Each structure stands twice: as C-alpha cells, then as structure tokens.
C-alpha cells in the first residue's frame, strides 16, 4: 500500500516566498506547522492508501487526461483560512477563478472516479496550503495578518505538467515522492 495523491507542483516565485515568510514571521508566536516551500503543491485528488497493483491503472488514466489537456496559467491572489474564525485549521493562498484549471481538475476527478476513486462530495476549491494550524492564541491577530494579503497578486504559475505523488508520513513532516510525471499537451 502507498499513500497517493495527484497534484500540480508549485514553483514559488520571490513574491510568493515574500508572502509566505511574512505570514510565518507575523504568526511566529502561534502553533502552526508550516509547509516546506519545496513541498508546495495544489492537490487535485487525494487517493489515500492505495494498493500498489492499482498504480498502473492510475498511470494509464492520468496519461489519457494529460494528452487532452493543454498547458495553462494560474494566478494566486489571495490568502485565507479554512475552518471557522473560532477554530481555524489551515492557512492557504487562493487562485483566481480559472476555467482551464477547473475543467482540468474536473477531468482528473471524473476519470479517477471511473476507475474506483470516487469524487469527494465537496466542490474542488483550488488553493495552496501553506500552514496547518495547531493552536491560535490571538485569533484577531491571525485575521489581521491574513487580511493584509487579501486580493493582492501573489504568484503566477504556468502549468505544463502534473504529478502522481506518494506521501510518506514521518515525524518531522510528510515526504512527497514523485512516482509519475504527466506532461500536458
């Protein structure tokens, strides 16, 4: 069994890193597990614990998706949290509404659904998770820090490929191992 997910790797620009380090600095007194910048990715589908015998089927499915998808661009422009303001769980950077990304993600989800990896009930919400909140002492301060980055252009990413990753959980944090790379048409 391997713990798998499908994702777009994010190659952080200096502007994205500036926002990331600004958030880390401004929230240094809070208990947040920050995602390492070399692990930045936009998850398309979390497959979970998957028997290794299914990897070839997943590979064929994702290759077919890649052949029918042209390259496209994403624009990151926002910061926010998932969870309520009383119990925030995740700090994220958002992506402008993008028809090409939404169609691509929908295609990935539909094709994986056809081979037994059922779609989630929630709609696809494209975002880059940059921090997982363990505990916040000052929720008002968190809101103010996040609000500083709302609506600001943060990063532009050209998507030419996507990946099948294995997530290996370690005490220090997850290690993401690339199993397959899929170039877009």
Give, as one character, the DSSP assignment of residue 96: -
- Give the separation between CA 162 and CA 36, rounded to whole angstroms: 19
127 given a catalytic annotation? yes
149 given a catalytic annotation? no
* Coil, strand or helix at 62: helix
Catalytic residue among 41, 51, 75, 77: 41
Angle between helices 139-147 and 14-26 (to 10 degrees): 160
Q: Which stretches within 36-96 are classed as H helix?
A: 55-67
Q: Considering only CA atoms, which of 161, 146, 155, 125 is closest in space to residue 37? A: 155
Which structure tokens are listed for 35? 């995602």
Catalytic residue among 77, 127, 137, 149: 127
Q: For residue 6, what are the contacts with CB-CB under 8 A and spacing of at least 6?
A: 43, 44, 45, 47, 62, 108, 112, 162, 163, 164, 165
φ and ψ at residue 167, rounded to 5 degrees: -105, 120
Catalytic residues: 41, 127
């Amino acid at each position: 069994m391997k713990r798998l997910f499908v994702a777009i790797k994010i190659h952080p620009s200096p502007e994205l890193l500036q926002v990331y380090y600004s958030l880390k600095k401004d929230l240094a007194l809070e208990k947040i597990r920050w995602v390492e910048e070399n692990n930045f990715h936009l998850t398309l589908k979390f497959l979970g614990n998957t028997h290794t015998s299914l990897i070839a089927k997943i590979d064929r499915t994702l290759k077919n998706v890649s052949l029918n998808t042209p390259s496209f661009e994403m624009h990151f422009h926002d910061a926010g949290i998932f969870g309520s303001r009383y119990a925030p769980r995740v700090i994220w950077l958002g992506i402008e509404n993008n028809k090409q990304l939404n169609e691509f993600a929908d295609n990935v989800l539909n094709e994986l659904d056809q081979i037994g990896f059922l779609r989630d009930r929630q709609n696809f919400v494209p975002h880059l998770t940059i921090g997982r909140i363990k505990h916040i002492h000052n929720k008002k301060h968190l809101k103010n820090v996040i609000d500083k980055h709302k609506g600001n252009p943060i990063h532009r990413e050209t998507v030419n490929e996507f990946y099948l990753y294995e997530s290996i959980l370690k005490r220090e944090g997850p290690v993401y191992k690339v199993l397959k790379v899929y170039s877009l048409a």
